[in-house]
A and B are shown apart, each in its own frame.
Chain A
Amino acid sequence: MVGMALACSLASMPLTKQLNVAIIDSNPALEGKTCIKKEDPPDPRVSTVTPATISLFKDVGAWQYVQQHRHAYFDKMQVWDYTGLGYTRYNARDVDKEVLGCVVENKVLHSSLLSCIQNTDLKKRIYPSRLNSMTLHQNHLPTMMDSTSSSFHASLAKLELSDGNSLYAKLVVGADGAKSHVRELAGFKTTGWNYSQNAVICTVEHKTENQCAWQRFLPSGPIALLPVGDKFSNIVWTMNPKESSACREMNENDFVKALNHALNYGYGPHPQSNLLGNNGDIFSWFRRDLTVSANECFEVPPDVVKLVSGRMVFPLSLRHANNYASKRVVLIGDAAHTVHPLAGQGVNLGFGDAFALSRIISEGIAVGTDIGEVHLLKKFEVERKRENIMMMAILDGFQKAYSVDFGPLNVLRAAAFHGAQYISPLKRSIISYASGEQRLPLFS
């Protein structure tokens, strides 16, 4: 997805649309026009796209294709935990926007980007195969003795594919996911650790339409319920590996019961809805600048009625490549960084990378730079590393803060919930940062 977004973005800018792009992806969806049928239940693999990503998609003309398929905007979000000591509700109207984000199936995003590219005159070729090996010539200058090598390919990167094709490229972009082969071949080291948690994802159905995003932090990990459109929702339930295998094995009815238990009445009480009136005068000086959601009561998420897809389990980890770029190679998306799904930010960081890289490439071409030049790619790295690392640190912090069940820490977390709920500037900052509209978490 992130690679396709890069190609789309290059196709949409005047300086880069004359580039020759080769897309190497063994995903069968790229081969033919695999139709996405409207009647199919939603695939459990979905992504939450932030308003910043939506506007980037609109800029390159890909969002219109997403709108032709199922997608679900949501404008409300509620976050609470099992202790029942506090909750926070977010509303898009707190920051005068209409949506907090949109949940779209990955296959819809992918096919929209593909349709978008096919409607431009970008010179592209799709290679439905895998990368076998890659050679990057490291010497910056052929030696004086070697003056017979007048082949233009001597300084380019050479890629060998599994179907036997050989390609020469000025720039190789690794957008091949968390287990990136390009990253391995190029020798980039990574830092990170595995969370001892797995995520169980599936699609469920309700009696009525769900228009709010729900997230409840349980002792072993958060469970998130995201609307996907029609009466369906997507579940992302993080738990430790033993429980995740148990969840996958149990029969459907038991699983639905477990879901309702986790979302609703299990593990602890519901938080009290403290309307500002009876919560004491300590918050009275905030009353002037109230957000819409500060007045909303705690709501119980809608009941899960039926499971409509299979259950998938993924291990979770935090991984960050120490460098994103070296001569002729650059990494974007999950290949460069993987995060915990608890705030729905992972793919948005990736899309941010893709659009930033295409802008930097365009600036490089404007001054005649060779696009595989390290200086140029390092500019991209410096720009994105800062933002990615900041987001990763915050998410990791949340993950650690919520994985400990310790009295005083629980109270602290409850205080944090109350603070976010009632302190309007803080809430607005949080919403803006999570929507991608704001670069720094606190000081705008």
Chain B
Amino acid sequence: MASKLLNRFPTLNNTAYHILSLPFLRSTVASPFLVHTRLYSEDVSSRVSNRSSLNQVELAKFSSIADTWWDAEGPFKPLHVMNPTRLAFIRSTLCRHFQKDPYCARPFEGLKIVDVGCGGGILSEPLARMGATVTGVDAVEKNIKIARLHSESGPETANIEYCCTTAEKLVEEQREFDAVISLEVIEHVADPAEFCKSLAALTVSNGATVVSTINRSMRSYATAIIAAEYILHWLPKGTHQWSNFLTPQELVLILQRASITVQEMAGFVYNPLTGQWTLSDDISVNFIAFGTKNSQ
């Protein structure tokens, strides 16, 4: 069904470039961005010359609203509300994989976890409270500053290591972690396939990789773009580009090519009456995947 929409654009052909322009009606970013290019290719070999997965447009978007990361009522409210549900999935899959006691208050004691694209640290801090040794990385300098400041407020979170860097640079430094977690990031990178390769390189063999993103489906267009950005104003307009979303099949494929086997997948469903997110089998909008690195 995604292809039906794409067929309406005359530029689609086998080789590869796909230009989708989404005019921003009102953008929080200072400079106007009207055209956004993303590489879309049937065969996943990278065509991008620079080896970074950074997308400058996306970086600028996040940099401008960095101060509001910890404002529970601000532009990041949906992430705050969704956070416990994502953590529930991470907790259950990682406890099972690393054979930790799920009734322990700090089950991740002794595990090294990296939060790629940590933003203000809203995932890193709960992971640290659960006992993990957490490293948070983000390409936006402001985010790292905010994250560092906020984490200083408690003894359990003060030991989180925050770095303003990218996954690729960490790979160059030959860092390795027991679990690599990257939530709601892959839809903002320039080259998802390369990004997954970096995530895989950061994971020790038999380690865990958790990626979450939004599905590229009609429903997600209606929900995550139209409803969330234009009608309910949960997210600033232009936060997401529908064409950047990955379907679960695509994600599994690129992870597999990076030597990560996806073991479990779940969806997040929002109940507007109770205002709560729950885990479910419905992966048509938000979904999260847990994979393990093949042992070499």
- Where the two chains meet, the residues of A that have a C-beta atom closer than 8 Å to any C-beta of B are 14-16, 18, 140-142, 144, 147, 150, 152, 154-155, 363-370, 374-375, 382
Q: Once bound together, how far apart are the Cα atoms of A4 and B286, in whole Å?
A: 42
A15 touches B105 (CB 8 A): yes
Q: Once bound together, how far apart are the Cα atoms of A382 and B72, in whole Å?
A: 18
B150 touches A369 (CB 8 A): no
- Pick the residue among B71, B88, B105 that contacts A18 (CB under 8 A): B105
A368 touches B158 (CB 8 A): no
B128 touches A368 (CB 8 A): yes
> Is the CB of B70 closer than 8 A to any CB of chain A?
yes
Cβ of A16: which chain B residues have Cβ within 8 Å of it? 105
A152 touches B145 (CB 8 A): no
A155 touches B154 (CB 8 A): yes
For B258-280 the 0/1 string (1 means CB < 8 A from A) is 00000000000000001000000
Most buried by A among B81, B83, B128, B155: B83
> Is the CB of B146 closer than 8 A to any CB of chain A?
yes
> Within the complex, what minimum Cβ distance (angstroms) separates A198 from chain B?
41
B105 touches A141 (CB 8 A): no
Q: Once bound together, how far apart are the Cα atoms of A14 and B102, in whole Å?
A: 10
> Within the complex, what minimum Cβ distance (angstroms) separates B208 from chain A?
16
> Within the complex, what minimum Cβ distance (angstroms) separates A12 from chain B?
13
A14-B103, A368-B128 are known contacts. Are A140 and B72 too (CB-CB below 8 A)? yes
> Within the complex, what minimum Cβ distance (angstroms) separates B100 from chain A?
13
A14-B103, A152-B155, A154-B153 are known contacts. Are A367 and B87 too (CB-CB below 8 A)? yes
Would you list 9 pairs from A and B whose C-beta atoms are within 8 A, ordered by A residue?
A: A14-B103, A15-B103, A141-B149, A141-B150, A142-B149, A365-B105, A366-B88, A367-B83, A370-B154
Give B50-101 interface residues, CB cut-off 8 Å to A.
67, 70-72, 80-81, 83-84, 87-88, 91
A140 touches B88 (CB 8 A): no
Cβ of B80: which chain A residues have Cβ within 8 Å of it? 375
A144-B145, A375-B72 are known contacts. Are A150 and B88 too (CB-CB below 8 A)? no
> Is the CB of B127 closer than 8 A to any CB of chain A?
yes
> Is the CB of B130 closer than 8 A to any CB of chain A?
yes
A367 touches B81 (CB 8 A): no
Q: Once bound together, how far apart are the Cα atoms of A364 and B88, in whole Å?
A: 10
> Within the complex, what minimum Cβ distance (angstroms) separates A371 from chain B?
10
> Is the CB of B126 closer than 8 A to any CB of chain A?
yes
Cβ of B152: which chain A residues have Cβ within 8 Å of it? 142, 150, 152
> Within the complex, what minimum Cβ distance (angstroms) separates A370 from chain B?
7
> Is the CB of B194 closer than 8 A to any CB of chain A?
no
B130 touches A368 (CB 8 A): yes
> Is the CB of B178 closer than 8 A to any CB of chain A?
no
Most buried by B among A152, A363, A367: A367
Cβ of B83: which chain A residues have Cβ within 8 Å of it? 367
> Is the CB of B38 closer than 8 A to any CB of chain A?
no
Which B-chain residue is minimally distant from A376 (CB atoms)?
Answer: B84
A367 touches B91 (CB 8 A): yes
Q: Once bound together, how far apart are the Cα atoms of A140 and B130, in whole Å?
A: 22
- Pick the residue among A141, A152, A365, A368 that contacts B70 (CB under 8 A): A141
Q: Once bound together, how far apart are the Cα atoms of A280 and B130, in whole Å?
A: 68
Q: Once bound together, how far apart are the Cα atoms of A142 and B150, in whole Å?
A: 7
Cβ of B129: which chain A residues have Cβ within 8 Å of it? 365, 368-370
Which A-chain residue is minimally distant from B67 (CB atoms)?
Answer: A141
> Is the CB of B191 closer than 8 A to any CB of chain A?
no
Cβ of A367: which chain B residues have Cβ within 8 Å of it? 83-84, 87-88, 91, 126, 130
Q: Once bound together, how far apart are the Cα atoms of A367 and B90, in whole Å?
A: 9
Q: Once bound together, how far apart are the Cα atoms of A207 and B127, in whole Å?
A: 65
> Is the CB of B168 closer than 8 A to any CB of chain A?
no
Cβ of B128: which chain A residues have Cβ within 8 Å of it? 368
> Within the complex, what minimum Cβ distance (angstroms) separates B94 from chain A?
12
Cβ of A369: which chain B residues have Cβ within 8 Å of it? 84, 126, 129
Cβ of B125: which chain A residues have Cβ within 8 Å of it? 368, 370
Q: Once bound together, how far apart are the Cα atoms of A18 and B156, in whole Å?
A: 14
Cβ of A142: which chain B residues have Cβ within 8 Å of it? 149, 152-153
For B127-152 the 0/1 string (1 means CB < 8 A from A) is 11110000000000000011001101
Cβ of B155: which chain A residues have Cβ within 8 Å of it? 152
Q: Once bound together, how far apart are the Cα atoms of A319 and B1, in whole Å?
A: 57
- Pick the residue among A14, A140, A368, A375 that contacts B71 (CB under 8 A): A140
> Within the complex, what minimum Cβ distance (angstroms) separates A143 from chain B?
9
Which B-chain residue is minimally distant from A15 (CB atoms)?
Answer: B105
Cβ of A364: which chain B residues have Cβ within 8 Å of it? 84
Most buried by B among A365, A366, A374, A382: A366
Which B-chain residue is minimally distant from A367 (CB atoms)?
Answer: B87
Give B151-175 interface residues, CB cut-off 8 Å to A.
152-155, 158
Give B220-238 interface residues, CB cut-off 8 Å to A.
none
Cβ of B153: which chain A residues have Cβ within 8 Å of it? 142, 152, 154-155
> Within the complex, what minimum Cβ distance (angstroms) separates A376 from chain B?
8
Cβ of B67: which chain A residues have Cβ within 8 Å of it? 141
B91 touches A375 (CB 8 A): no
Q: Once bound together, how far apart are the Cα atoms of A365 and B153, in whole Å?
A: 17
Cβ of B72: which chain A residues have Cβ within 8 Å of it? 140, 374-375
Cβ of B91: which chain A residues have Cβ within 8 Å of it? 366-367
Cβ of B145: which chain A residues have Cβ within 8 Å of it? 144
Which B-chain residue is minimally distant from A153 (CB atoms)?
Answer: B153
